Amino acid sequence: MNPSLESERILIFDFGSQYAQLIARRVREQNVFCQIVRHDLPAKRVAELAPKGIIFSGGPSSVYEPNAPQCDPAIFELGIPVLGICYGMQLACQTLGGKVGRNHAREYGRADCRVLESTGLFENVDASTVVWMSHGDQVQAIEGDFLPLAETDTCPIAAVRHRTRPVYGLQFHPEVSHTPQGSIVLRNFLRNVCGCQGLWKMQTFIERSIEDLKTRVGTSRVICGLSGGVDSAVTAALLLRAIGHQVACIFVDNGLLREGESDLVRKTFRDWFRADLHVVDAKDRFLSALKGVTDPQQKRKIIGKVFIDVFKAEAQHIPDARFLAQGTLYPDVIESGGAADGPAATIKTHHNVGGLPKELGFELVEPLRDLFKDEVRRLGTELGLPESLVWRHPFPGPGLAVRCLGEITPEKLATLRHADVIFLDELERSGWYRRTAQAFAVLLPVQSVGVMGDGRTYEDTIALRAVQTDDFMTADWSRLPEDLLARASTRIINNVKGVNRVVYDISSKPPATIEWE
């Protein structure tokens, strides 16, 4: 294995923070490899992983509570640099002799921070800078072992460093965009304190992945599930680069695809890559299984089960197939509560992660498991995929089932596809498609009164959704021009039979998710 990636590993200890994923994303932006791990990972295991540094995330607990999550205190004896953020800072300080208590008032929002020591962690940071606070507790006393590095009006110990150990703490959150110079602070920890050089490069990732795939797969065949989306396409391209003819691609047409999806997959992988492509028409089987089902989680489970059954049946026609490849990404693993050594709560079951039973009969290969979405796009470009495919908006594994709220019927799917095509066409024409991270139409189980011509109508509602995001862990709604929305609405109402109302979703993630189900 190419050692350059692992030699600069940063471990992010997850204490239940909603921002743990963002910390990982910001570390990756500095070209440093990182992994989110359990908060109670033993010091012995940490030593085996030999990270260049450790970051303790924030968390909702109070460190002085009886059942508050703790780390193995022996970690501080390893000599590995530690940066504690919010709860992580309080835990580090309390473990090493400091005192933590409840603040007189919960502090949430922006605060003016004064830097007291402008070297090391705060090198090139303004003497007065804005930071984002989110805490009810704070470090109240640090005895003689810690030195204060920064302060705010309400938090006199906003940042610290240990006098003799490579241990640092920040009461504020450097990973969020509301801390404008937070990336500088994180870079200083990674570069100045941990000595990282920034070796997390896409070409290096490709070389390592090819080496790993060849070693693991040997002469066996690998089945790759295609969906038409970016993730599965990049997975297939990487596999084809690594092991060529040993890859067999299976595309299951589940009847829940975007308009023209099946034709696009055929053209890309049969014509472009000359891949061994198996297309299975299972539309009737999926729609029959979903008949009458309205619960979104139940929809996902059904789709996952039928998908596996169809997949297994088709796989019987591929001799020597031992492995199944999927385009699982790091956010998929985190959101499904399945990050390696991580305790993240399940938000929703991802089709790529939760639908694979133990009796599948294949070993799972997930070459993109450590990547975020923008890293996957960079990888696709490096592998030579066409730009139109690399920059295609993400599409969920359960397809239109999670965008057609309520019961799924062929008629509803046809309505949704037509509206979706019109919306995306307007985005393309106006130059907004590449300026949004993800955009789509949603068919709501809501009918309302309208007037068309001289007649009263009582018809369906389409919701339009467009978001801006770098990592898909958080997202903000896109401020699309009013005239663009007006054109899309007019075209949908005039051309999509059965729709008389169009609304625009202005919810951010969190508290909402990007998809509606």
Residue 197 pLDDT > 50, yes or no? yes
Residue 108 pLDDT > 90, yes or no? no
Give residue 142's pLDDT band: very low, low, confident or very high (50, 70, 90). confident
Beta carbons of 397 and 418 less than 8 angstroms apart:
no
Is residue 128 a known part of a binding site? no
The whole-number average pLDDT for the span 163-187 is 94
Confidence at residue 390, expressed as pLDDT on a 0 to 100 scale: 86
Residue 139 pLDDT > 80, yes or no? yes
Predicted TM-score (pTM) of the model is: 0.70
Alpha-carbon gap, residue 379 to 371, rounded angstroms: 9
Dihedral sign computed on CA atoms, order 222, 223, 225, 229: positive
Confidence at residue 342, expressed as pLDDT on a 0 to 100 scale: 43
Dihedral sign computed on CA atoms, order 120, 125, 126, 131: negative
The whole-number average pLDDT for the span 108-128 is 92
Alpha-carbon gap, residue 67 to 69, rounded angstroms: 6
The whole-number average pLDDT for the span 10-14 is 94
Of 228, 240, 232, 193, whose CA–CA distance to 84 is shortest?
Answer: 193
Cis amide prior to 510 (ω within 30 degrees)? yes
- The DSSP bridge pattern shows strands 34-38 and 10-14 to be parallel
Of 425, 449, 445, 427, whose CA–CA distance to 436 is shortest?
Answer: 427
Is residue 232 a known part of a binding site? yes
Alpha-carbon gap, residue 25 to 206, rounded angstroms: 19
Tell me which DSSP letter residue 404 carries.
Answer: B
Confidence at residue 173, expressed as pLDDT on a 0 to 100 scale: 94
Alpha-carbon gap, residue 206 to 240, rounded angstroms: 12
Range scoring the smallest mean pLDDT among 163-167, 212-216, 358-362, 416-420: 358-362
Which pLDDT tens digit goes with each residue over 319-353? 888 998 988 887 666 554 444 444 343 333 344 43
Residue 477 pLDDT > 60, yes or no? yes
Residue 369 pLDDT > 70, yes or no? yes
Which pLDDT tens digit goes with each residue over 399-420? 999 999 999 999 999 999 999 9
Confidence at residue 415, expressed as pLDDT on a 0 to 100 scale: 97
Beta carbons of 460 and 448 less than 8 angstroms apart:
no
- The DSSP bridge pattern shows strands 455-468 and 438-452 to be antiparallel
Of 388, 409, 406, whose CA–CA distance to 256 is shortest?
Answer: 409
Tell me which DSSP letter residue 168 carries.
Answer: E
Tell me which DSSP letter residue 224 carries.
Answer: E
Which pLDDT tens digit goes with each residue over 62-96? 888 889 999 999 999 999 999 999 999 999 999 99
Nearest 5°: CA angle at 391, between 379 and 207? 5
Is residue 59 a known part of a binding site? no
Amino acid in position 256: L
More reliable by pLDDT, 141 or 295:
295
Is residue 57 a known part of a binding site? no
Q: What is the CA radius of gyration of the chain?
A: 25
Known catalytic residues are 86, 173, 175
Domains, the chain, ranges and CATH?
Answer: 8-193 (3.40.50.880), 202-390 (3.40.50.620), 409-504 (3.30.300.10)
Confidence at residue 508, expressed as pLDDT on a 0 to 100 scale: 92
Name the β-bridge partners of 422.
none
Q: What is the 3-state secondary structure (H, E, C) of 75-133?
A: HHHCCCCEEEECHHHHHHHHHCCCEEEEEEEEEEEEEEEEECCCCHHHCCCCCEEEEEE
Dihedral sign computed on CA atoms, order 64, 70, 74, 79: negative
Dihedral in degrees, nearest 10, Cα atoms 381, 387, 391, 397: -80
Beta carbons of 463 and 448 less than 8 angstroms apart:
no
Which pLDDT tens digit goes with each residue over 265-316? 888 787 777 888 899 999 999 999 999 999 999 999 999 899 888 988 888 8
Average per-residue pLDDT for the chain: 87
Of 505, 239, 262, 500, whose CA–CA distance to 399 is shortest?
Answer: 262
Dihedral sign computed on CA atoms, order 373, 376, 380, 381: positive
Enumerate residues 6+ apart whose C-beta is below 8 A from 66: none
Confidence at residue 214, expressed as pLDDT on a 0 to 100 scale: 95
Residue 5 pLDDT > 60, yes or no? no
Confidence at residue 135, expressed as pLDDT on a 0 to 100 scale: 66
Is residue 340 a known part of a binding site? no
Residue 355 pLDDT > 70, yes or no? no
Which pLDDT tens digit goes with each residue over 26-75? 999 999 999 888 899 999 999 999 999 999 999 888 888 889 999 999 99
More reliable by pLDDT, 271 or 186:
186
252 by DSSP, 3-state: which?
strand
Confidence at residue 491, expressed as pLDDT on a 0 to 100 scale: 97
The alpha carbon of 43 is separated from its chain's Cα centroid by a whole number of angstroms, namely 28
Distances (CA, A) of 359 to 32, 87, 356, 362, 460: 37, 41, 8, 8, 42
Residue 432 pLDDT > 90, yes or no? yes
The whole-number average pLDDT for the span 202-212 is 90
CA atoms within 13 A on the CB side of 513: 13
